[in-house]
């Protein structure tokens, strides 16, 4: 055995643990390493930097980014959440890392440039406080003993004491608490030991800590990259409207950086409480697009998932196109005159393209050919816009327009 690996104890054993505890962590969609305090190792002489922009160091064939070493400290758990492979009634093989093992693994992976840092979560063992204390020890050891400047994301246990939350926030860049289900009823049915009110109270405490640290320069560090959460989609009967209503509330109440949507995925040794079939992955994709439209394009839930409808997003076309098809009377949009807010509502025009068009039209009139040169998807955009040399045919029929958008490109949704 090479001497470098000796401090792990038996190598086989460590790699077995890693296999089990990485497998157990893969249902958490978040792998973001963006935001947070800028740091570099030139000042500390240690290892690790954070420049604010996340980096995805690899991609797995499931299309998800691998940015952080995403593992569980242990997959032993006293909770019995139906959707979770680690629930106490599951027959999954169990394992537990020591604090030192996680620290060493993180440092060794980081030095080889495999990862941006660590995303550590855990099953609940003994008590919420005991478990949280272990997670905090890992983060503290990385920062203090190893002068580690990379990214740390800790999954936070809502029932843990507020003091432990503050400790966690001192060492971690980001904290997250999963709301798991879009509705309180869904959570009660599938995760009997979890309580939405506890989760919300804990998120409220995190927001207060984050706000306070931002407002006062001298306040101790408190999760500078903010908090995020995850919702499982398709494990219960909640509609997309339920999901998006819940996210709107979470963004406003707790200033979350991100809400991650995770399409319920079949797990080995599944519980009887779950549906047999997973929802189509494109549903998750549509929810991310809708979330994006609400955060960066000025859309409201009622526009994206109208109350009088089924409450489900159209799987065939993206939500912006779906909105445009429901509101043909607002088009075509004159690219030379329309305000920015309206340009952002044109299917196929992104934030960056809109900026460019605005920058150009100060100096001269926009023509159809400009869209071609800017490489926008003209077939998709043309029916909705007018330029000095282009007006769409008025009889552009919705059915035909839908076909322009049947192959969604699966963007990188997990990186940043």
Partner 1 sequence: MRLVVLHDGSDLAEWRGQARALLAEDVLPSDVQWQVGERAGLLPAESSPAHQPLREAKPAGTVPREFLSLASTVLAHADARRHAVLYRLLWRLTHGERQLLHIASDDDVAWCEQAAKAVRRDMHKMKAFVRFREVAQPQGSVFIAWFEPSHDILPRVAPFFVRRFAGMHWSILTPTRSAHWNGETISFGAGAQKADAPNEDALEALWLTYFANIFNPARLKVQAMKNEMPVRYWKNMPEAALIPGLIRDASARMDAMVQRAPTQPKKHIPAPLPRQPSALPQGSLAELRLQAGQCRACPLWEPATQTVFGEGPDNAHIMVIGEQPGDQEDLAGRPFVGPAGQLFDQALAQAGVERSQLYVTNTVKHFKFEPRGKRRIHSRAHASEQSACRPWLLAEIQRVAPKTIVCLGAMAAQAIFGKNFRLLEQRGQWITLDNGIGAFATVHPSYLLRLPDERERGEAIAHFVRDLGMLRSLI
Contacts (CB under 8 A) with partner 1, residues 260-319: 263, 265-272, 276-278, 281, 295
Of the candidates 286, 275, 224, 228, the one whose C-alpha atom is nearest the C-alpha of residue 28 is 228
- Exposed e or buried b per residue across 129-157, where buried means at least 16 C-beta atoms within 10 angstroms of its C-beta: eebbbbbbbbbbbbbeebebbbbbbbbbb
Per the CB < 8 A criterion, the answer to whether 340 and 365 are in contact is: no
Name the one residue in this structure whose structure tokens are 């997309």.
240
Examine residue 212 and tell whether it contacts partner 1 (CB under 8 A): no
Q: Is there a contact between 250 and 196 (Cβ–Cβ < 8 Å)?
A: no
Return the H-helix or E-strand segment holding 185.
helix 184-190
- Binders in 314-373 for partner 1, by CB under 8 A: 356, 359-360, 362-364, 369-370, 372-373
H helices within 297-394, ranges in order? 301-304, 319-326, 340-343, 351-361, 368-373, 378-381
Site for partner 1 in 127-186 (CB under 8 A): 147, 149, 184
Nearer to partner 1, 279 or 392 (CB): 279
Tell me: does residue 42 bind partner 1 (CB under 8 A): yes
Q: Which is nearer to partner 1, 316 or 368 (CB)?
A: 368
Residues in 95-114 at the binding interface with partner 1, rule: CB under 8 A? 105, 108-109, 111-114
Per-position DSSP letters for 235-280, written without gaps between them: SSS--HHHHHHHHHHHHHHH--SEEEEEE----TT--TTS-SSPPP
Question: Residues touching partner 1: how many (CB under 8 A)?
Answer: 104
∠ CA 229-217-220, nearest 5°, is 60
Among 37, 145, 161, 193, binds partner 1 (CB under 8 A): 193
Contact positions with partner 1 (CB under 8 A) in 371-410: 372-374, 409-410
In the bound complex, what is the minimum distance in angstroms from residue 19's beta carbon to partner 1?
A: 5
Closer of 56 and 213 to partner 1 (Cβ) = 56
Q: Residue from 13, 15, 310, 340 that binds partner 1 (CB under 8 A)?
A: 15
- Specify the residue, 401 or 414, whose C-beta has the smaller distance to partner 1: 414
Of 140, 170, 221, 255, the one binding partner 1 (CB under 8 A) is 255
Question: Does 14 engage in binding with partner 1 (CB under 8 A)?
Answer: yes
DSSP structure class, residue 328: G
């Amino acid at each position: 055995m090479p001497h470098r690996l000796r401090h792990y104890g038996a190598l086989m054993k460590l790699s077995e643990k890693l296999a089990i505890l990485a497998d157990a962590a893969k249902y958490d969609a978040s792998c973001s390493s963006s935001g947070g305090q800028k740091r570099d190792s030139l000042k500390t002489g240690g290892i690790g930097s954070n420049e604010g922009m996340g980096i995805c160091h690899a991609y797995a064939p499931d299309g998800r980014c691998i940015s952080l070493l995403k593992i569980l400290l242990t997959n032993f758990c006293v909770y019995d959440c139906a959707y979770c492979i680690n629930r106490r009634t599951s027959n999954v093989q169990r394992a537990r890392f020591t604090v030192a093992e996680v620290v060493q693994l993180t440092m060794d992976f980081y030095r080889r440039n495999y990862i941006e840092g660590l995303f550590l979560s855990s099953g609940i063992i003994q008590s919420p406080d005991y478990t949280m204390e272990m997670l905090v020890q890992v983060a503290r050891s990385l920062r203090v003993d190893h002068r580690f400047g990379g990214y740390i994301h800790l999954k936070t246990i809502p029932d843990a004491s507020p003091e432990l939350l503050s400790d966690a926030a001192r060492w971690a860049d980001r904290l997250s608490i999963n709301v798991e289900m879009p509705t309180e009823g869904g959570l009660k049915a599938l995760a009997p030991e979890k309580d939405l009110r506890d989760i919300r109270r804990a998120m409220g405490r995190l927001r207060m800590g984050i706000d306070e640290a931002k407002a006062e320069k001298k306040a101790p560090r408190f999760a500078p990259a903010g908090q995020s959460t995850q919702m499982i989609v398709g494990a219960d009967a909640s509609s997309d409207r339920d999901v998006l209503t819940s996210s709107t509330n979470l963004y406003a109440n707790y200033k979350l950086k991100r809400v991650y949507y995770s399409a319920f995925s079949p797990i080995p040794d599944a519980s009887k409480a779950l549906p047999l079939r997973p929802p189509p992955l494109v549903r998750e994709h549509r929810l991310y697009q809708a979330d994006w439209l609400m955060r960066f394009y000025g859309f409201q839930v009622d526009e994206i998932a109208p109350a009088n409808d089924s409450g489900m997003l159209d799987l065939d076309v993206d939500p912006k196109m779906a909105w445009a098809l429901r509101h043909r009377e607002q088009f075509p949009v004159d690219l030379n005159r329309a305000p920015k807010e309206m340009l952002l509502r044109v299917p196929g025009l992104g934030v960056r393209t809109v900026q460019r068009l605005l920058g150009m039209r100060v100096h001269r009139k926009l023509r159809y050919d400009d869209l071609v040169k800017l490489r926008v998807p003209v077939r998709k955009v043309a029916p909705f816009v007018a330029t000095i040399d282009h007006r769409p045919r008025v009889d552009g029929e919705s059915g035909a327009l839908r076909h322009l958008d049947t192959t969604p490109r699966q963007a990188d949704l997990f990186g940043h």
